[in-house]
Amino acid sequence: MFSSPRELLDGTEKLSSVSVVHERLNEAIFSQRTTVGQITSIIMQDAGLTARLLRIVNSAYFGFPRKIDTISRAVMVVGTQQLHDLTIATSIVKLFQRIPERFVSMGSFWKHSVACGLAARVIAGLNRESNVERFFVGGILHDVGRLIMYDKIPEMMDEAFSHVMNHPAPMFIAEQEIIGFDHAAVGAALIEAWHLPGSLEEIVRYHHTPQSANRYQREASVVHIADVIAHAMQCGSSGELNVPPFDEDAWTLLGINPGSLPQIVDLVDRQLEGVLKMFHSNES
Amino acid sequence: MIEENVNTIPSVEALMERVRFLEETNQWMLESFEAVSAIDDQRSSPHSRWDKNSIYGAARAHLRRLVGFEAMAFFRPDETNNEFILEEADPAGERESIINEVNQLIDEGLFGWALHQNRPIPIPSRNDTRVFVLHGLETRRNVIGMFVGIAPSSESIPNKLALNLMSIVLFKTAVGLEQLELYERISNQNRILEQKVEERTKELMNAKDIALRASRLKSEFVANMSHELRTPLSGIIGISELLIESQLGQETRRYATMIRNSGDTLLAIINDILDFSKIEAGKLTIERISFNLVQVIAEVVAILEGKADAKGLRIKCEYALGDLPNYYGDPLRVRQVIMNLVGNAIKFTNHGFITVRAAIEEHGAEQPVVKISVMDTGIGIEEEVQANLFQSFTQGDGSTTRKYGGTGLGLAISKQLVELMGGMIGVQSYAGKGSTFWFTLPLPSRAQGQESKSLPVNKKEVSRSGFTAHENSPFDHSRGVKESESFNNEIRALVAEDNQVNQEVSRGMLTQIGFQVTVVPDGLRAVQENNRSPFDIIFMDCQMPVMDGYEATRQIRQSEGPGRRAIIIAVTAHAFPGDRESCIQAGMDDYIAKPFKQAELRNIITRWTTHLHDNRENTRDDKQTSLLPSTRIEQIIDRERIEEIKSIKSHSHPSLLGRVVQHFQRDFPLKIASMREGTEHRDAFQVRKAAHALRGSSAQVGAIVVAKVCEQIELLAIKESVEGTGRLIDVLEDAFKQAVEQLVTLVPKEELQ
């Protein structure tokens, strides 16, 4: 029996590599002294990462009119913070390539996650947020806790699933009742353990209950809405049987124009395939 | 995969380095944040100019502090074609090269892409080592423009913090520019609005002037109409009256009567219409003078009695006015309203009676009112019809106009008049059961009543002996109306009138009365004729060609001396109350409104000719007007005295009266001679002695006038004056002649030798 989400994480040795890169980058970016060159060299130490990043910045996802040949150019154009976020996204996705597909296929899972990420990015763009990549990352990672739970406690997840079949409710409620904590908490614990930015942690923790967030209520609200949109669009599945409850206050807080919905859905539709390929490509 | 020993503990040097680094960063951050938050303060200072240049300048200053740009530029989109134009570049010398580079970036699509990224986008130049940092200037609502900052090389690109602060500065700059634009637009709008308001006001003033002019024209039109309509109508009515008075056969007389009646009806309608239009134009004024309400009602009843009798109706009057002596108001209008109501009652009643009631009503704390009601047993009025009764041009329903005649204006005018006088009007009626029309008038306190100082208005005065409606007018009518019909035909009357028919009417009427009539067609001729030989009474039409009545009157008055004063009666169409003031100012004494009836003419003449009689006497001898006694001519001989003497019968004096008279006759010339001598020699004492003696003897014989004149001569002489005695002696001789004439008739023949 696990009494806290943190306990689930123990033993995940895969943690370290992600955190190392991240911490180095973080420090480098944060430091006023660090030049673009230094950041570039940190990234380039990871060839796979380098390749993935270059692919992303040259894709329609980014829409940059010029070809970006080098990481240093990418750093300049994309922005260091944004590039950092993309790094996190790709690393984590790569981390969870193979998980037992009892509850959900990986393809389906990442499809839903990427759709959510794209929707969140578009919404953030409409609201003129300065770092839209942060939202993309948040969107991609919001259900990552589920993967860990599927891996570590599959029987309890079974129980939760059956419960939901007979008493219609969102999975996270059932998880809380049966297991004692939900996938949002687990995902947040992982983010925390990796020392990733606080906004990501709150996004993941409160993506079903954005009103409970502290400093990053806006971010949590954006991903919450993006999650609902992704479910409504039926882009893949994360193991949720029903569309999760929608918090109207989140909508009001962001002041999104309902007329923007068609635009959001359209952009997600167009970019989904391309982005999935980039993040999910099988190499190594 | 990265291979790294995550468990390495950093060295002390590394830690120290990190601490120093963190402190520096912290310090830099504090300074930068302070600087950035101070942006707004600069802008809101009242001392600094607020325009685009100052906004750009402030932005540049902050950006320079954060990032060491070697050049900075601001691009703004052109409103018409949405192309970006370089608005400001610093240093100015870089303009060309900046524009070149930016154009390339626009072509590539990089410019457009960077615009919406909401963060600084560093783009290496293709041409050299410089880096162009692009940052969109956007507010929530608008794309304001693009900032372009030039860094000398990639290495000099600032770090993330500085770039973020840059975003803040540029966002604030965008907001500031947006504010400025909005403010300028509002100021412009205000200016345009003010201009529009000014233009509109001018237009409105013009329109007002035009409207006022139109209104004035309308009033003048009404005034002219009044004159134009009344003048020929007065001809019709006047001539028909003359016809009626003249020798006519029965049938012709009938025709003439019908003409006159039609004329009367037409006049009534015209008066209604003119009244109505006056009320509409707001030109009707209400008088405030003292008059007797009961009398006004009685008059109306008297006038309409004939019509009521003809239909077999009886009119009753009831009064509950307490001790209300006089009412202060407009008798003409009150009479008009009562006439209208009673006239209607008669019109719409076929049998039974009509009751006119006047009573004071008090309802608790409200001001007491006088309520006058006219109740009839007529055809009644349906409820739906009652609502529209007092509106113009309706008369119950259209058919009643045809059946009963009338303009339908009566009640509308009555309502307006009553309301102008501060009262209310209303009706209670049931179809088939008769109607009660009523109106109230407020009872003003005594203090409010003002006497009218204007000429009396007598359009429809009833000639009843002893009745005077206007007690306080400036002209003294206390002599009352004389019953006598014929006047001294010494009275010379002048008629100034341009309309030929009206000339005939006036000449005819005045000649019938017994005057010597002269007619002139305009004011100038009137003045000339009067100058040649002054008239006693002048009937002056107000509106005439060449010279109008007012001017003619003014000139006549100017030429008159202190003693002599013609009576000038204005003949007017009486369109507006202002006419009265004009007449008074010109110097007229009274007026009569045309068309006038003979009866009205007689009244006004009677009122003034008693004046004339006195004037005649008084001006016979100019200087003695004040001295002559104002006794009646009949009393030349005191009959009582004669009787007394007659009754003294004694044996010694059987014919006393005869002897007394003879003595008087013989003595008189002697005394006269003595008086004349005294006057010649300026011997007052002699005059006095003779006069005194003659006084006694004339008193004896009852020759009062002679005695009075002697008394006056005596009084003069006592003052040691013989001035004017000569004249008085002349008068004395005249008086003596008259006295003797009478005495001779009174003394029995046998007593005179």
DSSP structural state of residue B448: G
Chain B contact set for A14 (CB, 8 A): none
Average pLDDT, chain B: 78
pLDDT per residue over B57-72, tens digit each? 888 888 887 788 889 9
Please give the share of chain B, as a percent, with pLDDT higher than 90: 13
Q: For position A227, what pLDDT does the model report?
A: 95
Amino acid at B521: P
- Rounded distance between C-alpha atoms, residue A271 and residue B718, angstroms: 144
**Which band of pLDDT confidence, cut at 50, 70 and 90, is reported for residue B621?**
very low
Chain B contact set for A45 (CB, 8 A): 2
ipTM above 0.85, yes or no: no
User: Taking the CA of residue A261 as centre, how many other CA atoms within 13 Å lie in the half-sphere pointing to its CB?
Assistant: 9
DSSP characters for chain A? --SSHHHHHTT-TTHHHHHHHHHHHHHHHH-SS--HHHHHHHHHTSHHHHHHHHHHHTSTTTT-SS---SHHHHHHHH-HHHHHHHHHHHHHHHHTS---TTS--HHHHHHHHHHHHHHHHHHHHHTT-S-HHHHHHHHHHTTHHHHHHHHH-HHHHHHHHHHHHHS---HHHHHHHHTSS-HHHHHHHHHHHTT--HHHHHHHHTSS-GGG-SS-HHHHHHHHHHHHHHHHTT-S-SS-SSPPPP-HHHHHHHT--GGGHHHHHHHHHHHHHHHHHHHH----
Burial of A137 from C-beta contacts in 10 A (0-12 / 13-18 / 19+): buried
Mean local confidence (pLDDT), B159-166: 77
Rounded to 10°, the helix B704-718/B684-700 angle is 160
Chain A contact set for B27 (CB, 8 A): none
pLDDT per residue over B564-610, tens digit each? 678 899 988 765 566 777 788 888 888 887 777 777 788 888 877 76
Cis peptide before A65 (omega within 30 of 0): no
CA-based nearest distance A203→chain B, Å: 22
pLDDT per residue over B226-255, tens digit each? 778 888 888 898 888 888 888 878 888 888
- Rounded distance between C-alpha atoms, residue B346 and residue B311, angstroms: 8
Does B480 have pLDDT greater than 70? no
Q: For position A29, what pLDDT does the model report?
A: 65
Q: For position A118, what pLDDT does the model report?
A: 93
Between these two residues, B509 and A116, which has the higher pLDDT value? A116
Closest by CA to B712, choosing from B641, B642, B621, B638, is B621
- Rounded distance between C-alpha atoms, residue B311 and residue B298, angstroms: 20
Does B468 have pLDDT greater than 80? no
pLDDT per residue over A192-226, tens digit each? 887 788 899 999 999 999 999 999 999 999 999 99
Kindly state the helix (H) or strand (E) to which residue B495 belongs, with its residue range: strand B492-496
Q: Residues of A numbered 131-170 whose beta carbons fall under 8 angstroms of chain B's beta carbons: which are they?
A: 131
To 5 degrees, how large is the angle CA B125–CA B128–CA B134? 25
- Rounded distance between C-alpha atoms, residue B470 and residue B480, angstroms: 12
How far is residue B607 from each of residues B418, B465, B476, B602, measured CA to CA in Å? 32, 12, 9, 8
- Rounded distance between C-alpha atoms, residue B118 and residue A194, angstroms: 29
CA-based nearest distance A151→chain B, Å: 23
Q: For position A138, what pLDDT does the model report?
A: 93
pLDDT per residue over B657-697, tens digit each? 777 788 888 888 888 999 998 888 888 888 988 888 888 88
- Rounded distance between C-alpha atoms, residue B593 and residue B601, angstroms: 10
Closest by CA to B136, choosing from B102, B85, B98, B171, is B171
Cβ B119–A66 below 8 Å, yes or no?
A: no
pLDDT per residue over B198-209, tens digit each? 999 999 999 999
pLDDT per residue over A37-96, tens digit each? 777 778 888 777 888 888 888 888 888 888 888 887 887 778 777 888 888 887 777 777
Pairing type for strands B567-572 and B590-593 reads parallel
Q: pTM of the predicted model, to two decimals?
A: 0.48
Chain A contact set for B108 (CB, 8 A): 65-66
Question: Cβ distance A30 to A64 under 8 Å?
Answer: no
Task: Name the 3-class secondary structure at B153.
Answer: coil
Q: For position B23, what pLDDT does the model report?
A: 87
**Which band of pLDDT confidence, cut at 50, 70 and 90, is reported for residue B471?**
very low
Cβ B108–A128 below 8 Å, yes or no?
A: no
Mean local confidence (pLDDT), B428-437: 90
The gap between the terminal CA atoms of chain B, to the nearest Å, is 186
Question: Cβ distance A244 to A228 under 8 Å?
Answer: yes
Report phi then psi at A230, rounded to 5.
-60, -40
- Rounded distance between C-alpha atoms, residue B26 and residue B469, angstroms: 108
Contact residues for B520 (Cβ-Cβ < 8 A; gap 6+): B494, B495, B496, B526, B529
Q: For position B191, what pLDDT does the model report?
A: 93
- Rounded distance between C-alpha atoms, residue B726 and residue A212, angstroms: 135
Mean local confidence (pLDDT), A165-189: 90
Closest by CA to A124, choosing from B146, B135, B118, is B118
- Rounded distance between C-alpha atoms, residue B428 and residue B434, angstroms: 9
Q: For position B633, what pLDDT does the model report?
A: 44
Does B476 have pLDDT greater than 60? no
DSSP characters for B329-387? E-HHHHHHHHHHHHHHHHHT--SEEEEEEEEEE--TTSPPEEEEEEEE-S----HHHHT
Q: For position B444, what pLDDT does the model report?
A: 64
- Rounded distance between C-alpha atoms, residue B437 and residue B337, angstroms: 11
For B120, which residue in chain A has the nearest alpha carbon?
A79
CA-based nearest distance A179→chain B, Å: 33
Q: For position B253, what pLDDT does the model report?
A: 86
- Rounded distance between C-alpha atoms, residue B557 and residue B550, angstroms: 11
Neighbours of B616 (CB within 10 A): 14
The order of strands in the sheet holding B143-151 is: B84-90, B71-77, B143-151, B131-138, B121-124
Amino acid at A85: D
- Rounded distance between C-alpha atoms, residue B405 and residue B427, angstroms: 21
Say how far residue B4 (Cα) sits from the centre of its chain: 110
Residue appearing with tokens 């601001």: B74
pLDDT per residue over A115-172, tens digit each? 999 999 999 988 878 788 899 999 999 998 888 888 888 888 889 988 988 888 888 9
Instruction: Give the residues across from B537 on adjacent strands.
Output: B493, B567
Q: For chain A, give the number of residues.
A: 284
Count contacts between A and B (CB, < 8 Å): 65
Q: For position A212, what pLDDT does the model report?
A: 92
To 5 degrees, how large is the angle CA A234–CA A237–CA A242? 75
Q: For position B403, what pLDDT does the model report?
A: 55
Does B3 have pLDDT greater than 60? no
Closest by CA to A137, choosing from A70, A63, A217, A199, is A199
- Rounded distance between C-alpha atoms, residue B378 and residue A217, angstroms: 89
Q: For position A228, what pLDDT does the model report?
A: 94
**Which band of pLDDT confidence, cut at 50, 70 and 90, is reported for residue B445?**
low
Dihedral over alpha carbons A164, A168, A170, A171 (to 10 degrees) = 0
Burial of B185 from C-beta contacts in 10 A (0-12 / 13-18 / 19+): exposed
Q: Which of A19, A29, A31 to mutate to test the interface with B (most CBs of B within 10 A)?
A: A31
Chain A contact set for B121 (CB, 8 A): 77, 79
- Rounded distance between C-alpha atoms, residue B112 and residue B122, angstroms: 14
pLDDT per residue over B280-305, tens digit each? 766 677 877 778 888 888 888 888 88
CA-based nearest distance B176→chain A, Å: 18
pLDDT per residue over B109-153, tens digit each? 888 888 878 788 888 887 788 888 999 998 877 888 999 999 887
Mean local confidence (pLDDT), B264-278: 80
For the ranges A24-28, B226-230, B345-349, the lowest mean pLDDT is seen at: A24-28
**Which band of pLDDT confidence, cut at 50, 70 and 90, is reported for residue B624?**
very low
Closest by Cβ to B28, choosing from A32, A80, A129: A32
Q: For position B241, what pLDDT does the model report?
A: 87
- Rounded distance between C-alpha atoms, residue A251 and residue A214, angstroms: 17
Q: For position B630, what pLDDT does the model report?
A: 41
Task: Name the 3-class secondary structure at B38.
Answer: coil
Q: Residues of A numbered 221-260 whose beta carbons fall under 8 angstroms of chain B's beta carbons: which are they?
A: none
Residue A130 contacts B, CB cutoff 8 Å: yes
Burial of A134 from C-beta contacts in 10 A (0-12 / 13-18 / 19+): buried
Report phi then psi at B135, rounded to 5.
-145, 125
CA-based nearest distance B191→chain A, Å: 36
Question: Cβ distance A210 to A224 under 8 Å?
Answer: yes
DSSP characters for B195-206? HHHHHHHHHHHH
Closest by Cβ to B118, choosing from A45, A63, A128: A128
Q: For position B200, what pLDDT does the model report?
A: 94
Q: For position A99, what pLDDT does the model report?
A: 66
Does B478 have pLDDT greater than 50? no
Which residues in B555-641 belong to E strands, given as ranges?
567-572, 590-593
Pairing type for strands B121-124 and B492-496 reads unpaired
pLDDT per residue over B31-52, tens digit each? 878 777 776 655 556 666 778 8
Chain B contact set for A30 (CB, 8 A): 160
Cβ A65–B123 below 8 Å, yes or no?
A: no
